[in-house]
Amino acid sequence: MEKIGCAYCGSERPKEEMIRGEITFRDRNPITGKIFINKKTNWYCKDKGCAGYDQMAYEG
């Protein structure tokens, strides 16, 4: 069975117990040094709210 690691807590769980979450965060352009809003999509635990916690971690 395929297992996926949670981007927040690191648990490895079957795909059915995981959910995709889109995180927005501040990033810096390596060339211009300007701050911009970036997005990425990670896998998180469906039942633990890890996507929300990870978003909060990025917001500081």
C-beta of residue 21 within 8 angstroms of C-beta of residue 41: yes
Chosen residue from 4, 23, 50, 51 binding Zn ion by CB under 5 A = 50
Q: Which amino acid is at 25?
A: F
6 belongs to the binding site for Zn ion (CB under 5 A): yes
Binding segment for Zn ion among 20-28, 30-38, 41-49, 51-59 (CB under 5 A)? 41-49
What's the closest the beta carbon of residue 35 comes to Zn ion, in angstroms? 28
Q: How far apart (Å, rounded) are the C-alpha atoms in residues 25 and 32? A: 18
- Alpha-carbon Rg for the chain in angstroms: 14
23 belongs to the binding site for Zn ion (CB under 5 A): no
